Chain A
Amino acid sequence: MLSAQPPTTRRVATVTLLCVVALIGAIVAGLGVGPTSISTTRIIGALASGLGLGHSTLTPLQATIVWQLRAPRLVLGLVTGAMLSVAGGAYQGVFRNPLADPYLLGVASGAGLGATFAIVYVGHGLTTPSWTPVLAFAGATIAVLLTWGLGGRGLRATASTLILAGVAISALLTSLQTFFQQQSSIDSIARVYIWLLGSLATASWSSVWMVLPYAIVCVIICVAAGGALDVMSVGDEEARTLGLPVRKVRLVVVAASSLGTAAVVSAVGLIGFVGIIVPHILRLLVGTSYRRILPLSVLFGAAFLVLADTVARTIMAPTELPIGVVTAILGAPAFALILIFRRQLTT
C-alpha cells in the first residue's frame, strides 16, 4: 500500500474503509472494555437501539455504565482526537512545515499557564477546581492572540514570523507557569503535572457539550480549507498568483485550528503526538493532498485517541495511565517507522 507515487483512487478508498473500521472498532472498545466487561453484541445492540433500531439488551447497571460513564468519555475522546489531528494537519499545511503540531503557536503553554493558575491560586493546591477548563481555554486563546500580535502584523503574517513568535510566547508562558508551580505546594505540583499529561477520566456530558460546538465548527472550517492548503503547497507568492487570498486563508485556518485545540485542551489537558502522528501516517498512505488528509484525520484521529484511551485505562487497571504517555508510546515508534518507510521510498 505504501508507494512514492501519488495514490490511486482504489488506495484512497481502501484507506478510507480502514479508517471507518478503526473508528467503529474504537467506539465498540471504548464502550465495551473496562472493569465491567460488556460483550460486543450487547454494545452493538445498545448503539442500534440508540439509533432507533431494535432493543438494547443491556442490564440497567450496564446501561448506566455505558451511557453515563463510558459514552461521554468516548465522545470527548472522539472529538479531541479528531480536533487535534485535523488541527495538526491544517497547521502543517498552512505553515508548510511537517513538524508543525496544534501547539505550535502557544496553545499548550497558554493552557498550561491557565490550568496552573487555577490549581495553585483558585484551588490552593487542594483540588483541581471546576474553573480549570475555563482558565485553560482563556490562557490558550490569549497565547495565540499574543503570538499573532507579535508575529502576525495584522494580515501580513508569514509562516516564519508566526512560528518564531510562537516559540517566543511559548517560552515566556512556560517560564511563568514554572514560576507559579515553583511558588506552590507539592500537592499543587502533582495536580498540575497530572493535568499537563492529559486525561479523559473526568469526562462528563457537560464537558462534552462545552467542547463540542467549538470542535465541530473548527473541524468543518479546517476540512473545508483542504483545497486551499493544497494550493498553498506551492508557496505564498505562487498561491497568490493562482488566485488564493493566502493571508486571509492563513488567518482563518490558524484561528479555527487554535480555537478548536484550545477548547479540547481545556477539557482534557495536553495530549501530545496525536496532531503530528495521525496526519503523517495518512500522508504516507493517501499522499500529500489536504483534501484527502484532513477528512481522513477526522476518522483516524478520533479512532486513534479512543483506542489510546482504552489502553490507558485498562493496561494497568485499576490504575489509569495518563493518555499522553500512551499516545507518546504508540506515537514515537510509529513516527520512527514513518521515517524508515520514507527513506526507503525515496532511495
Chain B
Amino acid sequence: MNAVEINELSVRADARELVADVTLHVEAGTWLTVIGPNGAGKTSLVESVVGLRRIAHGSISISGQPLASLNERERAKLVALVPQRPSVPNGMNVRDYVALGRTAYHGLLRAPSAGDRAIVESVLERLSLQDFCERDVATLSGGERQRMVLARALAQSTMVIVLDEPTTGLDLHHQMDLLELLRREVNDCGLTIVATLHDLTLAGQFADRLVLLEAGKVILDGPAHDVIRREELSRCYQMDLRVIDIDGADVIVPVRGVSE
C-alpha cells in the first residue's frame, strides 16, 4: 500500500517551474529521501506533500485521500512536518510545545483531553525528553530542539512525517542520533518518512530509497546504491565527487579543484 502518491506534480512560483511533472509513490513504512543541489526543488516538493504549496498541476494523495479535498485539520491527522527552520516561541515549555501536535484532535476551543496528554507524555518518553519537559524551548541546544520538533510531529500521530533538512545545524553525533531515532520509528512503528537531506552519505545510509532531483525533475530514483553514482552526482552538483565503499556503505567525498 502506498502512503504517499504524487502524480504528475508541478509547482510554480510566478513563471518559474519549481517542481516539474514529478510522479512518486512511497510505500507505507518506508523512508524516501530527496537529494539534489540547492534550488533543485526539494523543499517545494516536500512542502507540497504537507499542503503548504499551491499545486499548479497534478495531485497528491496521503493514505489514499486526495490532499486537495482536505482541510487543515484533516490534513494534520494524515501528515506532519518537521520544517527546516522551525519557529521556537520564547516562554513556552517543551511539554506545551509538543502538545501543539495534538491541535487537530482537540480542536480550537477545547483543551487537550486526557488521551491527548497521554500521547504527549508517551512521545516525550520515547524521545527521552522527560527531563526537559518543563524547560523553556528557547533554552534548548540545537540537538534537543530538533528532537523536540520531531516529538511535536510524532504527537500528531500521523502515518507520514515529512522532514525538510532535519539535520541542519547539528553536529555529527546529533545528526546520527536523530536519524537513528527516525529509523527506529520506521522499523518499529511503521512510520513513513519523506525527507530532504544535503548529506548524501547519511541519506544513503538511512533511507530505503533515494530520489535525485535536478531543476524540479526526477533524475534518478531507487535504492541508495542505484542513485549514488559518481557521474550523475558530479554532473548534478557541478563538481567532482568520489564514491567510496566503506563496509558496504557508500561514502561521498568531494574532491577540491576539479569543478567544471
Residues of chain A having any CB pair with chain B under 8 Å: 4-6, 224-225, 227-228, 230-231, 233-235, 237-238, 240-246, 249, 283, 287-289, 291
A242 with B104: CB separation less than 8 A: yes
B86 with A288: CB separation less than 8 A: no
Query: Residue B199 at the A interface, CB < 8 A?
Result: no
In this complex, what residue of B is CB-closest to A4? B136
B156 with A233: CB separation less than 8 A: no
A243 with B86: CB separation less than 8 A: no
Which residues of B54-87 are within 8 A (CB) of A?
Answer: 71-73, 75-77, 79-81, 83, 86-87
Give every chain B residue within 8 A of A230 (Cβ-Cβ): 92, 96, 100
Residues of chain B having any CB pair with chain A under 8 Å: 50-52, 71-73, 75-77, 79-81, 83, 86-93, 96, 100-101, 103-105, 108-109, 111, 134-136, 139, 152, 156
Partner of A241, one of B50, B71, B134, B139: B50
- Known A4-B136, A238-B81, A238-B83; further 4 A-B contacts with Cβ < 8 A: A227-B103, A241-B50, A244-B108, A287-B92
A237 to B50, CA, bound (A): 10
How close is B171's CB to chain A, nearest CB, in angstroms? 25
Given A227-B108, A245-B72, CB of A240 within 8 Å of CB of B52: yes
Given A224-B109, A234-B86, A234-B87, CB of A241 within 8 Å of CB of B92: no
Partner of B75, one of A233, A243, A246, A288: A243
Closest 6 CB pairs of A and B: A243-B104, A243-B76, A288-B91, A233-B89, A6-B93, A241-B81
Give every chain A residue within 8 A of B75 (Cβ-Cβ): 241, 243
Give every chain A residue within 8 A of B52 (Cβ-Cβ): 237, 240-241
Give every chain B residue within 8 A of A234 (Cβ-Cβ): 86-89, 100
Give every chain A residue within 8 A of B96 (Cβ-Cβ): 6, 230, 289
B91 with A283: CB separation less than 8 A: yes
Give every chain B residue within 8 A of A289 (Cβ-Cβ): 91-92, 96
B136 with A242: CB separation less than 8 A: no
How close is A34's CB to chain B, nearest CB, in angstroms? 41
A5 to B93, CA, bound (A): 8
A278 to B134, CA, bound (A): 26
In this complex, what residue of B is CB-closest to A232? B89
In this complex, what residue of B is CB-closest to A225? B108
Residue among A230, A234, A289 having the largest count of chain B Cβ atoms under 10 Å: A234
